[in-house]
């Protein structure tokens, strides 16, 4: 069937259902959204009107029925194509929607186009029964729009690509040293000043190359509402990230009082134009806490997600060590050192979010100095942070950079564009195992799921993001969804065979993926230095 991600069970029949201009679609109570989505895409791609059925019997023989079945799991679905027509049942609206995504794959690559190109095509679905459900409830993609801004239309496009691969959590990295991307009404300078930098490093931070023009952009609050609503229609949760206390130079450039004013002249700072880890971090003052409470109040009003990501990674503490104010705060709070000061800072917002019915999630550095009760961890530096968090009773999202950082290079060839990090091939990603070894059953249940991360320092536009994300994101989606065997036992040859059909779907969607034979000439970046790391990545 060439389906990606692979379903749990497929039983094939011997005939097919043909959809015609007379076919009807019945969307039962609770499935109306999936029905509208399917009717819209098939009208565009196939010219099929899929008239609205008033009852399930209207779909008899050549139609589609969508129903809820409370006996199924929350995202579980059953797709049956037989002489009675096509019936998709789900344990929830999300389950029905994932079944509809499978139906679209069964209809062929032409079903992914925006307009019909095969006017005499027969739109047929083979007789079969598919039973399917996801392995993990958190199947995520993190997109960094702070280093290189992606306009709203590009974000909506990525939500469509996520839905096509049954990914359901969009981690929206909105702020960093190089740009602040969300309008906060009470603090307008965050976007007036913080969303633009005067120039941009081209390539790795050691590169001598610069793009000598301003870069930036931001999302209005209505843009954010649209993105969140668009995602919700596709059963994708948007988790915002506002990075504190490190990776905050853009915010300090806009509001210098947020920085360590007793150590440096923060009024001289600008939005950072290079890559790496800035030494300019937030001051651990009451003023900073109140400022970010104001930011998060507006963020909570825009994002209904249970989790709010606060970063917490790569906070250099040199300025805190040199700051009399920071040292006085350590003494006042009875803390041991700067690591515990960061833990206090993060813990403040964990309590603040919890009081408002939300949960804090941060990168695994939030374990250092102690982690707040109820906080969850994005384990990025390897398996170690996730193991420690799970053993301590915290929920974990596994996203180790050695395995699922899609900015890392895909091959060793000299023609790979701006080679960063370890080689992570399509097969490497396919053999990634999110649940680390050594956890007992109760600890393993703390693994909410997994996430692929796309950091955009060397991705200047959506075509570069496409190249780094695909086809590896398809392999990752199968790892997150399907009940695969142990990594060494996975049938990568079968996956490659199914990818041959999937590449045609990606072509129809206009995805500028890396071809199996290597980059096309226009995908290369000759002369732009990267940071390749030789050898296999450490499996820690």
Catalytic residue ranges: 176, 247, 314
Place of tokens 């993990």: 136
Q: Is the dihedral of CA 519, 520, 521, 525 positive or negative?
A: negative
Distance from C-alpha of 32 to C-alpha of 100, rounded to nearest angstrom: 12
C-beta separation of 395 from 373 below 8 A: no
Distance from C-alpha of 465 to C-alpha of 469, rounded to nearest angstrom: 6
C-beta separation of 485 from 531 below 8 A: no
Instruction: Report the 10 Å Cβ neighbour count for 529.
Output: 17
* DSSP secondary structure of 330-358: HHHHT-SSHHHHHHHHHHHHHHHHHTTT-
For the chain, the residue count is: 540
Q: DSSP 3-state assignment of 536?
A: coil
438 burial (CB, 10 Å; 0-12 / 13-18 / 19+) is: exposed
Range 410-437 burial, b when 16+ CB lie within 10 A, else e: beeeeebbbbbbbbbebebbbbbbbbbe
Going by C-alpha positions, the residue among 90, 103, 109, 12 that lies closest to residue 64 is 103
Going by C-alpha positions, the residue among 151, 325, 314 that lies closest to residue 243 is 314
Going by C-alpha positions, the residue among 341, 334, 391, 402 that lies closest to residue 366 is 341
C-beta separation of 18 from 122 below 8 A: yes
């Amino acid at each position: 069937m060439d389906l990606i991600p692979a379903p749990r069970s497929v039983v094939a029949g011997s005939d097919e259902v043909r959809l015609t201009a007379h076919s009807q679609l019945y969307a039962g109570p609770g499935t109306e959204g999936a029905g509208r989505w399917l009717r819209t895409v098939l009208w565009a791609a196939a010219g099929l009107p899929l008239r609205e059925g008033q009852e399930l019997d209207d779909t008899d023989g050549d139609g589609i029925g969508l129903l809820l079945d409370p006996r199924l799991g929350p995202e579980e679905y059953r797709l049956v194509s037989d002489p009675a027509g096509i019936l998709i049942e789900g344990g929830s609206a999300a389950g029905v929607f994932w079944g509809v995504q499978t139906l679209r794959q069964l209809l062929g690559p032409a079903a992914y186009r925006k307009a019909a190109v095969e006017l005499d095509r027969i739109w047929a679905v083979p007789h079969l029964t598919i039973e399917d459900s996801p392995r993990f409830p958190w199947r995520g993609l993190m997109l960094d729009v702070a280093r290189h801004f992606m306009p709203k239309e590009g974000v909506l496009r990525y939500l469509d690509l996520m839905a096509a691969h049954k990914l359901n959590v969009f981690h929206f990295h909105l702020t960093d040293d190089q740009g602040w991307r969300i309008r906060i009404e009470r603090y307008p300078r965050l976007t007036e000043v913080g969303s633009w930098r005067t120039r941009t490093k081209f390539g790795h931070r050691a590169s001598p190359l610069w793009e000598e023009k301003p870069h930036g952009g931001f999302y209005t609050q209505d843009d954010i509402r649209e993105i969140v609503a668009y995602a919700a229609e596709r059963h994708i949760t948007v988790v915002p990230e506002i990075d504190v206390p490190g990776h905050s130079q853009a915010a300090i450039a806009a509001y210098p009082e947020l920085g360590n004013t007793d150590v440096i002249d923060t009024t001289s700072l600008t939005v950072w134009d290079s890559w790496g880890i800035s030494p300019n971090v937030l001051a651990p003052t009451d003023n900073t806490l109140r400022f970010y409470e104001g930011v998060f109040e507006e963020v909570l009003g825009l994002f209904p997600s249970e989790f709010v990501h606060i970063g917490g990674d790569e906070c250099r503490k040199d300025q805190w060590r040199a700051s009399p104010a920071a040292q006085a705060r350590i003494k006042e709070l009875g803390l041991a050192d700067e690591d515990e000061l960061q833990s206090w800072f993060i813990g403040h917002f964990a309590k603040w979010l919890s009081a408002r019915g939300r949960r804090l999630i941060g990168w695994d550095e939030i374990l250092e100095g102690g982690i707040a009760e109820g906080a969850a961890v994005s384990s990025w530096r390897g398996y170690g942070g996730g193991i420690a968090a799970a053993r301590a009773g915290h929920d974990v999202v596994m996203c180790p950079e050695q395995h699922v950082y899609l900015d890392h290079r895909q091959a060793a060839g000299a023609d790979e564009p701006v080679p960063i990090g370890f080689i992570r091939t399509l097969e490497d990603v396919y053999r990634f195992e999110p649940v680390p070894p050594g956890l007992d059953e109760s600890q393993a249940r703390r693994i909410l799921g997994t996430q692929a991360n796309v950091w955009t320092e060397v991705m200047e536009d959506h075509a570069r993001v496409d190249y780094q994300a695909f086809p590896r994101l398809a392999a990752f989606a199968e790892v997150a969804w399907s009940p695969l065997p142990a990594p060494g036992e996975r049938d990568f040859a079968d996956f490659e065979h199914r990818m041959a059909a999937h590449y045609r779907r990606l072509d129809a969607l206009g995805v500028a993926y890396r071809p199996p034979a290597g980059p096309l000439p226009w995908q290369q970046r000759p002369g732009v230095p990267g940071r390749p790391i030789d050898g296999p990545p450490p499996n820690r």
